[in-house]
Amino acid sequence: MTFTQIAMPIFDKVIIDYHLKDDIDQPLNNPYQKGTIEAYLYTKCWIDTVQWHLEDIIRDPHIEPVYALQLKRRIDKSNQDRTDLVEMIDSYFLTLYNGIKPLPDATINTESPAWAVDRLSILALKIYHMKEQVERDDADAAHKAACQKKLDVLNEQQKDLSTAIDQLIADIEAGKKYMKVYKQMKMYNDPSTNPILYGQK
């Protein structure tokens, strides 16, 4: 079984689990053993799923400004949590392939495996919600047809991205590629590097 064959069903499960209540304040109930890659993947997609709906809510043109600011702060924290989870997943890969010696002509990839998996999680959400649009009872035929075309592209993109991720992992295992992970170092979240924050001291 390839890595994406493990990841994609977990992402689909997360999205279904979330929509049982469809509530941004519902608690995370991760069914996988803590510290496993499956648990990391579940938590990662849960963060993405909650944030997807936060992003929907904050775009309400009639939203109360104070509530909008609260949501913005929550989205900021969610983005940091998402980054932290991606780095944890990359740490899993680094540990897993620590003993692999790269071949002399091995090359580095444009992104780490976990950041590619991040995109796969987001794609699962796009597919779920685009399918909702295709199946809307209150939408006209033109809307449904346009969304079906987008859904077809998203499904193709999911297939291609899955293939690329599995190939990248296979190349790392074979020593054809090597991993080099850079921390995101988001300066606006750091009170020592954001001038608005350190200027208030």
- Calpha distance 50→135 (Å, rounded): 22
Nearest to 81 by CA among 44, 122, 40: 44
Residue that is written with structure tokens 């994406």 in the block: 4
Q: Which residue is associated with the tokens 């989205």?
A: 75
Q: What is the pTM of this model?
A: 0.92
Comparing CA positions, the residue from 119, 113, 116 lying closest to residue 48 is 119
> What's the DSSP call for residue 29?
-
Cα–Cα–Cα angle for 116, 4, 41, rounded to 5 degrees: 70
Burial 48-60 (b: 16+ CB within 10 A, else e): bbbbbbbeeebee
* Mutual angle of helices 141-173 and 113-134, in 10-degree steps: 160
pLDDT at site 131: 98
- What CA–CA distance (Å, rounded) separates 122 from 47? 10
Q: What is the pLDDT of residue 201?
A: 61
Q: Give the C-alpha separation, 45 to 87, whole Å.
A: 14
pLDDT in tens, the chain (201 residues): 999 999 999 999 999 999 999 999 999 999 999 999 999 999 999 999 999 999 999 999 999 999 999 999 999 999 999 999 999 999 999 999 999 999 999 999 999 999 999 999 999 999 999 999 999 999 999 999 999 999 999 999 999 999 999 999 999 999 999 998 777 666 777 778 777 777 776
| Residue 40 CB partners (closer than 8 Å, separation 6+) | 85, 88, 89, 92
Nearest to 118, CA basis, from 154, 86, 155, 75: 86
